[in-house]
Amino acid sequence: RLKLSDKKSGAQYSGYTKDYLAVDQIRDIYVHDAEQTTVVMGKKVAQNEDAVFEDDVVFYSLKNFAITYDYYRNKLQRDSFDGVGGRIVVYANFRDKAEEEWCNACYNWEQKIFKVGSGETGGFAKGLDVMAHEFTHGVMHHRALILYNRKDAQAINEAYADILGGLIEANA
């Protein structure tokens, strides 16, 4: 395992890179760099052995999903978002068709992946509460099978994700 660090902030995280991914093998988290595209493919995010991330959206996506995974595992006895140790696949620097820089993050329940935009200087990835919120949407999808065509169910899902996001950030 290597110490990964964000070039801009100097923050560190223990993990490694492999092929075209930033990887946390213990937690089974794979972060791809979508390179400001709408395509869910990835490019190499760290070029050398010192594993310094040039991109803080990739770095914080890996770090904050790991913190969120640990909270769910250790405090709520849940193994990943699906409850059975499912791989956490994240596309950082994702770009929505309608925007130049996507200022958002989401859990895509059809693809079972997380997408994180880089708008507003990557602030969404830096927000632990935001990453925990999106992870919680994944949990809700697998645990409660929320029907998104019902407004009351959408409201409950959003509230639960907000609460868990804030709780995880406060206890990190």
For residue 142, pLDDT over 70 is answered with yes
For residue 10, pLDDT over 80 is answered with no
Q: What pLDDT, in 10s, does the model give residues 21-53? A: 677 778 888 888 776 665 555 554 443 344 555
CA 8 to chain centre: 19
Q: Please check whether residue 32 is in contact with residue 81, taking contact to mean a CB–CB distance below 8 angstroms.
A: no
From the CA atom positions of the chain, what is the Rg in Å?
15
DSSP conformational letter for 100: S
pTM: 0.80
Among 3-7, 32-36, 93-97, 110-114, which range has the highest average pLDDT?
110-114
Q: What pLDDT, in 10s, does the model give residues 117-131? A: 877 666 788 899 999
